[in-house]
Amino acid sequence: MTAEEQQMVQYILQLIRKPSATIDENAPLVSSGLIDSMALVDLLLKLEDLTHKRIPSGKVQPKDMDTVAKMFATAERVGKPRK
């Protein structure tokens, strides 16, 4: 895992209030019910912070945010330089 992915994992554990749990970069988060749709924006904002990119939400589906690895791949695919 990269340092950014590691930071994302820490953030997610806080978000789901399970600081002592472990998740790897391929663990499903949305499709396993750990993350609900109202928390997707938290992940998106954090992802923008970590990648220093602007991610157009219209180009992102919840399934693109299902694992930490997919989140970073999505940022790579649709992310744009920040204004």
Partner 1 sequence: MDALHAAPADLPFITAWIDEDESESVTFAEFRQRVRSEAEALRNSGLRTGDRVVIIMPQGIPAMTTFVAAMMMGAVPAFLAYPNFKVEPSKYRSGLQGVTANLGAKAVVIDADFPEQMLSSVSLDHATKLIRAGGNRVAEGLGHSASQAEAAKIDPHSLAFIQHSAGTTGLQKGVALSHGAVLRQIEHLAQSLKIDSATDRVYSWLPLYHDMGLIACFMLPMVCHVPLVMQSPLDWVMRPESMLQIVSQYKCTLAWMPNFAFQFVPRRTPKSRWAEYDLSSLRLLINCSEPVRASSMMEFQTAFAIRSTVLQSSYAMAENVFAVTQSDVDRDPVTIWADGRQFRSAHRLLPVEKEGPGAVSFTSSGRLLTNQHLRIVSDSGAIVGHDCVGEIILQSDCLFEGYYNRSDLTAQAMIDGWYHTGDLGFYRDGELYVVGRKKDLLIVGGENIYPQDIEQIVNRHSAVHDGRVVALGLYNPELGTEDIVVVAELENDGLLAKAAELEAEIRGMIVAGLGIAVRTIFLKPPKWIVKSTAGKAARSATREKILREHPELNAEAQISV
CA distances from 73 to 18, 63, 64, 79 (A): 25, 12, 8, 10
Which residues contact partner 1 (rule: CB under 8 A)? 30-38, 40-42, 44-45, 56-63
Least distance to partner 1 from the beta carbon of 71, Å? 12
Least distance to partner 1 from the beta carbon of 5, Å? 20
- CA 80/CA 12 separation, integer angstroms: 23
- Cβ closer to partner 1: 4 or 48? 48
- Cβ closer to partner 1: 9 or 64? 64
- Cβ closer to partner 1: 2 or 32? 32
- CA 82/CA 63 separation, integer angstroms: 24
